[in-house]
Structures are given as structure tokens and as C-alpha cells.
Amino acid sequence: MIKKTKFTILLVFKIIQDKKRFLFWLGVRLFSALLPLLTTYLFSKVIADIENKIIFSSIFFLILLILIVRVVDNFTRIRSVYRLDECISDIGFDIHNYLINL
């Protein structure tokens, strides 16, 4: 990372008033970004079970699990994007207030 970029990120993080809220929603967003990987893995597991002629109840459980993961993924993704947008807007106001006081 370039020294100026690192300095700017640290300065902005120092200016932020509500760091915990920003880091929480950023963590939720990162979690929601990992859920499609889990969905892909579970789908490949379903295909492998179909090829290996595993019993239907096991396959049905995996399909149900995929459905649950997709619902959680959509909920957390939409919620985290909305909340991060609010946090970033607040960060913009914090930066404006900081620059006004200079």
C-alpha cells in the first residue's frame, strides 16, 4: 500500500465518530460476501450426491440448506449495504466537520 493511501485511511478512520457501527456493518458485509461461496459448495455437493445415487432425504436436506443460506445471504447483503451507506454518509459529514474546524 502506498504511504499516502495508508495515511489517508488512518486519518479518515481517526475522524470517524462511530467506529464500532462502521466496523460491525463492514463485518456483516464481508460475511454476506462469503455466503455465495458456501452456496456454490453446497450445490456441488448436491450434484455429487445425485451422481453417487445417495438417498433422497440427504439431497433434500442439502437443497433446504441451500435455500436457507440464500435467504440469509440476501437479507444480510441488502441490510448491510443499506447500513453501510448510512455509515459512509455519516463519515462524509464527520470529514466535513473536521475540515470546517481546521
DSSP string, 46-71: HHHHHHTT--HHHHHHHHHHHHHHHH
Domain range list for the chain: 3-100
d(CA 28, CA 39): 17
CB 88 within 8 A of CB 16: no
Query: Chain-wide mean pLDDT for the chain?
Result: 90
Could you tell me the pTM of the whole model? 0.77
Position with higher pLDDT, 28 vs 101: 28
| Amino acid 55: pLDDT | 87
Query: pLDDT digit string (tens) for 20-54?
Result: 998 999 999 999 999 999 999 999 999 998 999 88
Residue 61: band (very low, low, confident or very high) from pLDDT cuts 50, 70, 90:
very high
